[in-house]
Amino acid sequence: MFIRALSLRDFRSWEQAEFELSTGRTVFLGANGNGKTNLLEAAGYLSTLGSHRVSADAPLIRMGAERARIGATVVNTGRELRVDLELNQGSANRAQINRSPARRPRDILGILHTVLFAPEDLALVRGDPGERRRFLDELCTARLPRLAAVRADYDRVLKQRSALLKTAGRQARSSGDLSTLDVWDGHLAEHAAVLLAQRLRLVHDLYPHLAQAYRSIAPESRPAAIGYRSSYLPPEFLDPAREPGEGDAADLGAIVLAELGAARPRELERGVCLVGPHRDDLELILGDAPAKGFASHGESWSFALALRLGAFELLRTTGAEPVLLLDDVFAELDRRRRRALAEVAATAEQVLITAAVPEDVPAELDATPIPVEMSGDPAHRVSRIAEFGPAGLSE
């Protein structure tokens, strides 16, 4: 899989641009502030419908513009697909596949697979559980695109159930009727079961790739491992060595529903949902200790890199090879970690790299440079202007 063309209009700092790309290694070269990272962010957004830098879409739209547009021509095993996405201020985003409108933006998921490694990835090790849950869910969705609908349904039910809990305590004291909450418990358990089953399967499948990647990066360090952390699941489900079963979703649904019932008094008292995947975490382990709080700076970088390389190798074995996106990371790594990353990059079908100077990219990658300059002659920073219609995506 590779991106043959990448188009932007009013995305971040880019007013309009289109880059023609090829297989192999390409490096976008330019000083900080010239929009290099924005290019990889755009490609990553088409893959995951999310940014690795911000949680909302508004910062992605160029100041003064009403909408941003990203487009890519993706080649996968000889088949070419065009995907376009429009991000709108104050209204729903829209998408096209081969110039035809998609029902929902999430319908484009699965067309382009990417794995992005960026300086922000240190938060995977040192940040809040939400960073690690997002890592799990994006990788799960890359493997099973229909999971995006499950995630959306779970978030919707969680929001509605949480709002109900804020008022249900007072209503229960006055009427004793909690039948509405019973209905939402069932919906939450149903969606949670599917999401949990996929997360647990992913942890099982990712574990050996993560362990091998960390050994190659830091052979002198303690061994790395991962596990799934949950306060309500039985221990046997949390063992990454456990082989996932076809009946897991049904069992997990029953467990979540029972735990919701047991937690109801505490939930009514506190007004929050205490049971579900939104409370879980991906456990990162070095030796016998959690990586968070115990890993050194170098070990934390190694673990973050191993998670991304493990994800890349896992996707390689289960479908189309993803595009590897490396955002200004070689300058952050020591010689050994640079070499380990370069060895993987050298075997990938397509790698898009950003760097401030050519010396930041290992010479053995033999990357094709594309200068990126936000000032001066536009020909030095774009191959040709993107051809978007003035009204946005066609109806």
* Residues annotated within a binding site for ATP: 30-37
Supply angle C-alpha 100, 76, 21, rounded to 5: 90
d(CA 334, CA 337) in angstroms, rounded, equals: 6
Contacts of 135 (CB under 8 A, 6+ apart): 124, 282, 307, 311
d(CA 42, CA 12): 9
| Selection from 136, 133, 141, 131 nearest residue 110 by Cα | 141
312, 210 contact by CB (below 8 A): no
Torsion of CA 7, 12, 14, 17, to 10 degrees: 0
What's the maximum distance between 2 C-alpha atoms anywhere in the chain?
73
Residues contributing to the annotated binding site: 30-37
For residue 182, the cross-strand partners are none
Neighbours of 367 (CB within 10 A): 22
- What is the enclosing helix (H) or strand (E) of 83? strand 79-88
Q: Where are the alpha helices (DSSP H) in 28-146?
A: 36-48, 122-126, 129-143
Cα separation, 133 vs 67, in Å, equals: 29
Report the alpha-carbon distance of residue 362 to residue 31 in Å, rounded. 18
Give the C-alpha separation, 368 to 352, whole Å: 10
Q: What's the CA gap between 177 and 169, in Å, rounded? A: 10
In the chain, count of helices (H) and strands (E)?
Answer: 9, 14
**What is the C-alpha separation between 260 and 181, in angstroms, rounded?**
10
Paired with 49 in beta bridges are: none
CA within 13 Å, CB half, 146: 2
């290099």: which residue's tokens?
A: 36
Token pair, residue 99, equals 């110039």
